[in-house]
Chain A
Amino acid sequence: MYNAGKIIIGIVIFLALITAPFWYNFGKASTPPKLEIGTQEKQCVESKAFMQSSHMVLLDQWRDEVLRVGKRIYVNSAGKQYNMSLQNTCTKCHSSKTKFCDRCHTYLNVAPNCWDCHIAPKEQEKQAGRSDK
């Protein structure tokens, strides 16, 4: 091999970059966040699978209908009616932003702009707010 020194440095840099995620996560247990739903209701507005993957689409649709059309009533796939409201419908059950919304959003680096306008529900425990620090 010619220029062995330079070639080996190059290969080491390549390997370090490619395997970086392995070293970064090395020895850590893979635990996806657990969400605290905090509700007596058994059923969300739509099915759990749908809400898990597509809640942002639903919320976006709600915002548009309420603000641009003035329509307030949402009829779900089972025919049940809901008031389209983040603060009055969603957070009635999902009462903790830090224990519900933020856990997944932080884990996946999602920064929704809901709370630019809306007011997050008051946390029951004072510690929840502090856990961000």
Chain B
Amino acid sequence: MNALFSLVSALIAVAALVAVSWFGVGAIGLDSVFGVIIPYIALAIFIIGVVYRIVDWARVPVPFRIPTTCGQGKSLPWIKADNLDCPYNTWGVIGRMFLEVFLFRSLFRNSKAELREGPKAAYASAKWLWLFGILFHYSFLIIVLRHLRFFMEPIPSFVEAITSVDGFFQIMVPTVFISDLLFLGAVTLLFLRRVGLPQVRYISLPADYFALFLILGIGISGVLMRNFFKVDLLGVKSLAISLFTLHPAPPPGIHPIFYVHLFLVSVLIAYFPFSKLMHAGGVFLSPTRNLANVNRSERYVNPWNYPVKVHTYEEYENDYREKMKECGIPVDKE
């Protein structure tokens, strides 16, 4: 697929979503559609979809033990084994999964290959994907946790603590959060990496750009309504609490930019189970990561093996003992 087509089609899709919600609320006044009905449907699709995908994956048998190995496996006692890169027990697997999920260790190993004059192949470490990825994921996590101030009443103290650290520099009024800046910066850099590196651009599909633009749209609309459009927060929280207490009541007069933000979030979570965003659940179900490399020390039975009827040598000899003796073939039992 043409790279430009992928980019432009995804951009048009996200722009259309923004326009639909902006005019849907601003011009037609569909507050309760965008404030109540769509968020509820999106949340239902998200929950059912994610559970379905996980169960669907869990129903697939893993015929072989196929961990990726990146270090010395357990062998002779005097050879030092690397339990994190080539796990030989459950603790190794847990450690490896922990580092993968929380520190994105496999991205840290990312490398780039270049063909130099000669021709010579040159390999070098490429940490940008890891850096932008980890900045993006952790700032997103902090932003989601900060949003709990709208979802919970009374507000839990850990949310207050995170918010106060995040707004530590007290720049501008209302305070600009460090995580907002990191988030927008990281998403932009991930986008620039995707369009800047020819190889990555070549393999990028509309789905890759769509998720990026959608998330960027959520971030931009969020910052816009906090620092530029000035949304009435009392109304926003009373809507959020009314949704979470199952007594939905959208208050009148919330600025349409809020509904753009909410609609983009609704689209994101509804799209989640159908897309590459499911890597959030998929990382836990990767047989290349969640299995220990114990192929030699423990037998792995293919789950779809049916019981094979075997005919042992003992039985064979019992069948043909007399004939074997006649021919002079040695037998185990006389």
Pick out which of these stretches binds chain A: B46-54, B130-138, B186-194.
Answer: B46-54
Q: Give me 28 A-to-B residue pairs in the complex whose CB atoms sit less than 8 angstroms apart, sorted by A's number.
A: A2-B58, A2-B59, A2-B60, A2-B62, A3-B58, A10-B54, A11-B54, A11-B55, A14-B54, A15-B47, A18-B47, A21-B152, A21-B244, A25-B151, A25-B153, A25-B241, A25-B244, A27-B245, A29-B245, A30-B249, A32-B234, A49-B253, A53-B255, A54-B230, A108-B237, A110-B174, A110-B233, A111-B163
CB distance from B259 to the nearest CB of A (A): 15
Q: Which residues of B contact A14 (CB under 8 A)?
A: 50-51, 54, 281
CB within 8 Å: A-B pair count? 98
The verdict on A131 contacting chain B, using a C-beta distance below 8 Å, is no
Distance in angstroms between the alpha carbons of A3 and B60 in the assembled complex: 11
Range, interface on chain B: 35 or more
Q: Which residues of B contact A107 (CB under 8 A)?
A: 153, 234, 237
- Check A2 against B303 for contact (C-beta < 8 Å): yes
Q: Which residues of A contact B54 (CB under 8 A)?
A: 7, 10-11, 14
The verdict on A119 contacting chain B, using a C-beta distance below 8 Å, is no
CB distance from B52 to the nearest CB of A (A): 10
Give the residues from 89 to 120 in chain B that come closer than 8 angstroms, CB to CB, to chain A: none
Instruction: Answer whether A25 and B233 are a contact pair too, CB < 8 Å, given A30-B242, A60-B173.
Output: no
| Contact indicator per residue, chain A 9-36, by CB within 8 Å of chain B (1) or not (0) | 0110011001101101111111011000
The verdict on A57 contacting chain B, using a C-beta distance below 8 Å, is yes
Closest to A109 in B: B149
The verdict on A66 contacting chain B, using a C-beta distance below 8 Å, is no
The verdict on A101 contacting chain B, using a C-beta distance below 8 Å, is no
- Check A30 against B234 for contact (C-beta < 8 Å): no
- Check A52 against B232 for contact (C-beta < 8 Å): yes
Closest to B149 in A: A109
Instruction: Answer whether A24 and B152 are a contact pair too, CB < 8 Å, given A59-B173, A108-B234.
Output: yes
Distance in angstroms between the alpha carbons of A1 and B159 in the assembled complex: 38
Q: Which residues of B contact A128 (CB under 8 A)?
A: none
The verdict on B238 contacting chain A, using a C-beta distance below 8 Å, is yes
Instruction: Answer whether A11 and B51 are a contact pair too, CB < 8 Å, given A107-B153, A109-B163.
Output: yes
Closest to B56 in A: A1
Closest to A28 in B: B245
The verdict on B299 contacting chain A, using a C-beta distance below 8 Å, is no
Which of B55, B231, B245, B281 is in CB contact (< 8 Å) with A26? B245
Distance in angstroms between the alpha carbons of A54 and B237 in the assembled complex: 16
Q: Taking beta carbons and an 8 Å cutoff, which residues of A are in contact with B?
A: 1-4, 7, 10-11, 14-15, 18-19, 21-22, 24-30, 32-33, 49, 52-54, 56-57, 59-60, 104, 107-113
- Check B47 against A113 for contact (C-beta < 8 Å): no
The verdict on B148 contacting chain A, using a C-beta distance below 8 Å, is yes
Which of A2, A4, A28, A113 is in CB contact (< 8 Å) with B170? A113
- Check B245 against A108 for contact (C-beta < 8 Å): no
Which of B150, B163, B234 has the most CB atoms of chain A within a 10 A radius of its CB?
A: B234
CB distance from A62 to the nearest CB of B (A): 11
Q: Taking beta carbons and an 8 Å cutoff, which residues of B are in contact with A?
A: 46-47, 50-51, 54-55, 58-62, 148-153, 155, 159-160, 163-164, 170, 172-174, 230-234, 237-238, 241-242, 244-247, 249, 253, 255, 281, 284, 303
- Check A56 against B232 for contact (C-beta < 8 Å): no
CB distance from B4 to the nearest CB of A (A): 37
- Check B241 against A30 for contact (C-beta < 8 Å): yes
CB distance from B236 to the nearest CB of A (A): 9
CB distance from B285 to the nearest CB of A (A): 8
Distance in angstroms between the alpha carbons of A27 and B150 in the assembled complex: 17
Distance in angstroms between the alpha carbons of A28 and B157 in the assembled complex: 19
Closest to A103 in B: B234
Instruction: Answer whether A109 and B173 are a contact pair too, CB < 8 Å, given A25-B244, A26-B245, A32-B238.
Output: no
Q: Which residues of B contact A111 (CB under 8 A)?
A: 163-164
- Check A109 against B231 for contact (C-beta < 8 Å): no
Closest to B155 in A: A109
- Check B231 against A53 for contact (C-beta < 8 Å): yes
Q: Which residues of A contact B152 (CB under 8 A)?
A: 21, 24-25
- Check A108 against B149 for contact (C-beta < 8 Å): yes
